[in-house]
Amino acid sequence: MRFWEFAKRNFKELWRDPVALGFLLGMPLVFMLIFGFAFSEEHMSKSHIGVVDKDKTSTSRAFIKVLNEIEDLEVSSHRDTSKALKELKDGELLCFFLIPKGFGSAVEENRRGGKMKISLKVTYDETKQWLPEQAIAIVEGVALKFMGTENPLNLKRQGIKPEAKPEFLHFLVPGIVIFGLMILIPTLARTIVADKEKGFLPRLFTTPTRSVDFLLGYSLPMILVTVILVIIYLVVAFLMGLKVYGNLALAFIFFFLIGVCCIGFAMTIGAFAKSEAQAEPVCWIFLVPMAMLSGAWFPIENLHPIMMNFAKTFPFYYALEASRRIITTGAEFNMVSTEFLIVLGWAVLSFLMGTIAFRRGIGFD
């Protein structure tokens, strides 16, 4: 049972290291609290837009009334463009729309089956183009429906309807959990290298301790830490208002497997690194790009195909996709079975790689 004593020692070493605990537990929780409260729907302000009605008909007034009923918009009516333009330059408006003369008659004609072209002019600050995009998209969708304008393309759409409206926490929490687990990599690698530098491992080589005792002694505490971390992250997420519409145990399995992957990566780096100063940057050079490319911090649908394909060679992307679908849409196992097999395969492979690297790097072979 030498491995058990070794494992308890390593767990205590981690517990007594405030820097390691601060990075491992504190940083992801801080990210979750900051981004969760900053960008949650309850705390996000409405998009303030302006409308200049040059038509002044019952139809144009009805259109403005419809816009006022949209929860995500705060609509201000203006008599002329000069005042709206001033408020736009002062930053009081994201954008403003000009309803031209003839708007009402054109809408009525289209509703009777006509094909009159209707234009709405929108003005926005080009230096902040990304800010008004959401408001413009909302107004465009409402306008098309209100005007009865049909797209020439007969596009048939079919999709799945989530059980609940997706919230920012549904995107944030899986990303923060997996990012938090990624921090296991520098934590464990630093522990292994520190033991080598202090001479602790060389001294153990003179005892009957087997290689399996070393492997279990380092990996078992981190497996326990993985479980504890996931539980803490999820508890904090629930306190912040997260609602899980799928099988939480299934999402937990994905998180656990990612933890195993990270332990394997850490053993590989820790076995070959010569010093803590060498191990730490190597870990973060690997960790930060993986967090970005996997989608832990922001959506990656518009990534360059080369970068997207690179992200898909690692398990983090698949674990995030699967866990978000489980939490948001209630996806069952058969819907994420492909992702499960990929992540499971990576867990086995990374742990095997870590085992081989550890045996050779430490000097058992």
Is residue 221 within 8 Å of residue 14, measured between CB atoms?
yes
Select the more confidently predicted residue: 106 or 20: 106
pLDDT for the residue 11: 63
Helix axes 2-15, 211-239, angle to 10 degrees: 40
pLDDT for the residue 212: 63
Is residue 322 within 8 Å of residue 340, measured between CB atoms?
yes
Residues 32-67 as b/e (b if ≥16 CB within 10 A, e otherwise) read beebbeeeeeeeeeebbbbbbbebebebbeebeeeb
**DSSP alpha helices (H): ranges in the chain?**
2-15, 18-21, 27-39, 58-68, 81-89, 103-111, 133-147, 168-182, 184-197, 200-204, 211-239, 248-272, 276-294, 305-311, 315-329, 337-362
| 82-96, 107-121, 230-244: which is most confident | 230-244
pLDDT for the residue 132: 61
pLDDT for the residue 74: 85
Please name which of 131, 143, 130, 58 lies closest in space to residue 97, comparing C-alpha atoms.
Answer: 143
pLDDT for the residue 154: 35
Q: What are the boundaries of each domain within the chain?
A: 2-39+167-362, 48-147
User: Using CA atoms, how far apart are residues 203 and 109, in angstroms rounded to an integer?
Assistant: 90
Please name which of 267, 315, 273 lies closest in space to residue 291, comparing C-alpha atoms.
Answer: 315
pLDDT for the residue 304: 77
Q: Chain-centre distance of CA 16, in angstroms?
A: 31
Select the more confidently predicted residue: 60 or 7: 60
Percent of the chain clearing pLDDT 70 (strictly above): 69
Is residue 263 within 8 Å of residue 353, measured between CB atoms?
no
pLDDT above 90: residue 244: no
User: Using CA atoms, how far apart are residues 138 and 353, in angstroms rounded to an integer?
Assistant: 50
pLDDT for the residue 163: 44
On average, the pLDDT of the chain sits at 76
Number of residues that make up the chain:
365
Q: List pLDDT tens digits, range 131-147.
A: 566 677 777 777 767 76
pLDDT for the residue 112: 74
For domain 48-147, give the CATH superfamily.
Answer: abc type-2 transporter like domain (3.40.1710.10)
| 4-13, 303-312, 339-348, 350-359: which is most confident | 339-348
Q: Is the dihedral of CA 8, 350, 279, 317 positive or negative?
A: negative
Please name which of 134, 104, 114 lies closest in space to residue 39, comparing C-alpha atoms.
Answer: 134
User: Rg of the chain over CA atoms, in angstroms?
Assistant: 28
pLDDT range class, residue 164, cuts 50, 70, 90: very low
Residues 194-216 as b/e (b if ≥16 CB within 10 A, e otherwise) read bbbeeeebeebeeeebeeebbbb
pLDDT for the residue 249: 93
Percent of the chain clearing pLDDT 90 (strictly above): 10
pLDDT for the residue 318: 93
pLDDT for the residue 346: 93
Separation in Å, CA 73 to CA 49, 99, 136, 139:
7, 17, 10, 9
Q: State the distance between the two ends of the chain, measured CA to CA, in whole angstroms.
A: 22
pLDDT for the residue 161: 41
User: Using CA atoms, how far apart are residues 10 and 192, in angstroms rounded to an integer?
Assistant: 10
